[in-house]
Amino acid sequence: VIKQQKEAFKLPIPSPQASKPAPTDPTVLIGGVSIKLKQGDITQEITDAIVNSTNTTLDLNSGVSGAILNAAGSSVQDECKALGQQLADGVAITNSGQLQCKYIVHIVGPKSAAGITASVHKALEECEKRSITTIAFPAIGTGKGGISCLTAINAVFSGMENYFLTIVSSNIKAISIVAFESYVYDSFADAFEAKKLNSGVGTMGTAQMTQHIYTQTAQKGGLLPTQLRIRNVIVEVQQGNITLQSVKGIVNSTNTTLDLNS
């Protein structure tokens, strides 16, 4: 009887539950380039280049710059001193010191959304010149810049779109945006998801993106099958003699001597 009572009061052993997979970092594609959001220390990124938001004197003794200086070593600060005073929208590139990347891209910290967009565009241009393929950006503007997280990340997106959607091809293949604080990461993650939903091209490549843009503009703007809207410009394909076009200017492909006889 006692044995039966003990058996009756035994608690059921819970069945093992499958562990939940860790959430994946949000990613979007812009012009075929992967843009991934990550949380962590940007100085630990294994990438070709990391971006550092600093001041016109390239003084690396505070903020994210301070963390980079501590990790990279004094040789980077010495190189910055040699570069001298920068313009308010300046971009300068140094070696990486003891970091795991090859370069540090120093941008003068922007104070507005337009400034962020312009700085991102310039940073990408400089990276392109050095055939850099992977880049890590910090949460530009969200620290001393005093810009809201949503405004900042959308300005970053604009800078990347202005660059990648207006060039034929790029050496740059992947970009990480690294947020250190959890609240910045969470806000940026919401913006990543919103961008996917609003554009419908969050996971598309270049060819699919082009078709998507064509379809959307044709539906919304009543465009002809031979037309495509890019920003505020309608691009149209026509067949015929270009010299008969009623336009203010035509483009002629010629040679180095501008000899128009052939």
Verify that 117 and 54 share a domain, yes or no.
yes
Q: Are residues 99 and 188 in the same domain?
A: yes
Overall number of domains in the chain: 2
Decide if 8 is inside a domain: no
- Residue at a domain's end among 187, 202, 217: 202
Phi, psi torsion values for 59, nearest 5 degrees: -80, 115
pLDDT for residue 74 = 86
Residue 225 pLDDT? 66
Give residue 235's domain range: 209-239
Q: Is residue 128 part of a domain?
A: yes
Residue 105 lies in a domain: yes
Contacts of 45 (CB under 8 A, 6+ apart): 100, 101, 136, 176, 178
Could you give the residue ranges of the DSSP H alpha helices within 73-181?
74-83, 113-129, 149-164
CATH number at residue 125: 3.40.220.10
Domain boundary among the residues 181, 202, 223 is at 202
Q: What is the pLDDT of residue 216?
A: 47
Note the pLDDT of residue 201: 47
Amino acid 232: pLDDT: 56
Is residue 102 domain-shared with residue 174, that is, in the same domain?
yes
DSSP assignment of 201-227 equals -TT--HHHHHHHHHHHHHHHH---TTE
Amino acid 6: pLDDT: 53
In this structure, is residue 113 part of a structural domain? Answer: yes
Is residue 190 domain-resident? yes
The tens place of each residue's pLDDT in the chain, 262 residues long, gives 555 555 555 555 555 555 555 568 999 999 889 999 999 999 999 999 999 998 888 887 766 677 888 888 888 888 988 998 888 889 999 999 999 999 999 999 899 999 999 999 999 999 999 999 999 999 999 988 889 999 999 999 999 999 998 888 899 999 999 999 999 999 999 999 999 877 654 444 444 555 544 454 444 455 666 777 675 577 888 888 888 777 778 899 998 888 888 7
Residue 148 CA to residue 141 CA, distance in Å, equals 8
Residue 133 lies in a domain: yes
Asked if 175 contacts 160 with a C-beta cutoff of 8 angstroms, the reply is: yes
Q: How far apart are CA 41 and CA 54, in angstroms?
A: 17
What global pTM score does this model have?
A: 0.68
Q: Are residues 117 and 69 in the same domain?
A: yes
Q: Is 122 found in the same domain as 51?
A: yes
**In which region does residue 163 sit, left (phi positive, over 0), alpha (psi from -120 to 50) or beta (all else)?**
alpha
Same domain flag for 139 and 213: no
Residues 57 and 108 in one domain: yes
If asked whether residues 79 and 101 sit together in one domain, one would say yes
- Residue 220: the pLDDT is 46
Q: 118 and 135 share a domain?
A: yes
In this structure, the answer to whether residues 191 and 153 fall within a common structural domain is: yes
Same domain, 163 and 136: yes
- What's the confidence (pLDDT) of residue 204? 46
- The answer as to whether 176 is a domain residue is yes
H or E element in which residue 197 lies: helix 182-199
pLDDT for res 199: 61
CA–CA separation, 218 vs 226, rounded Å?
Answer: 10
6 in a domain, yes or no?
no
196 and 216 together in one domain: no
pLDDT score recorded for residue 61: 74
DSSP β-bridge partners for residue 230: 233
